A and B are shown apart, each in its own frame.
Chain A
Amino acid sequence: MSMLHLVNKSPYENGNLNTASSIMKSGDVLLLIEDGVYGAVKSGKASAMLEGCAVSVMGPDLAARGITEDKLADGVNVVDYAGFVELVEKNDKVQSWL
């Protein structure tokens, strides 16, 4: 059973990314959306939390915030809205860390 974990808040504002990334099990996927995408920036301190996690990030939310794909941590997968739906479909459950 796999779970899709959604994080939509900046990791520098609250502990949601920390909670999600540390509770995730092997086979789970983390999707960063809205202000959550700041966690995927390689040079930022928070990206250390992503180590060992399968991470996807919303492309339109990155673009809105001026983050280009070359700034992302290694292995982060950029998706669009169709890719978001696909992830929801592929995983058994969705957990939104609001």
Chain B
Amino acid sequence: MAEETKKFMYINRKAPYGTIYAWEALEVVLIGAAFEQDVSVTFMDDGVYQLVKGQDTSGIGMKNFSPTYAALGDFEITKIYVEKESLEERGLTLDDLQHLVWEDEDEDWAEKDSIRLVNRAELGDVLADQDVLFNF
């Protein structure tokens, strides 16, 4: 019997360096990607800060793990939801975030955007459609 594929959603709601949650979440997402499930990732509330581009941690003695988000596409994680209300409250736009892409092998490796900007109601629908939710 073929194993059932489940929809896994990782929800990120914390800023990147004040706590270890963001980094731990990224590690769990990458490990989880090896199990060939249908993986999605959400960034909402302070979690949207994780994707802000131009991070330079040389002055605080911590590892800058933000370049790793660009590798999610290579792990076939192509559905990255960013909540619109969270960006707006913080005075951010999509232009402030890294441009995350994946390559679609069914379309001659065409580069496609991974980030899907959704409002809270739409995000509620996305979450309702998942099988397993992981919160960080």
Q: A: which residues have CB within 8 A of B?
A: 8-10, 12-13, 34-35, 38, 41-45, 47, 59-61, 63-68, 80
Residue among B17, B54, B90, B92 with max Cβ neighbours from chain A (10 Å): B90
Interface of chain B: mostly helix, strand, loop or mixed: loop
User: Do B91 and A43 touch (CB < 8 A)?
Assistant: yes
Interface of chain A: mostly helix, strand, loop or mixed: loop
A23 and B55 alpha carbons, distance in the complex (Å): 32
User: Do B18 and A10 touch (CB < 8 A)?
Assistant: yes
CB distance from B48 to the nearest CB of A (A): 10
Which A-chain residue is minimally distant from B93 (CB atoms)?
A43
Q: Which residues of B contact A41 (CB under 8 A)?
A: 90-91
Partner of B59, one of A47, A64, A67: A64
B120 within 8 A of A: no
User: Do B64 and A64 touch (CB < 8 A)?
Assistant: yes
Complex A-B: 15 CB contacts under 8 Å: A35-B17, A38-B46, A38-B49, A43-B92, A44-B90, A44-B92, A45-B89, A60-B58, A63-B57, A64-B62, A65-B17, A65-B49, A66-B54, A67-B52, A68-B54
Which A-chain residue is minimally distant from B61 (CB atoms)?
A60
B60 within 8 A of A: yes
Partner of B18, one of A9, A43, A47, A80: A9
A12 and B13 alpha carbons, distance in the complex (Å): 11
B56 within 8 A of A: yes
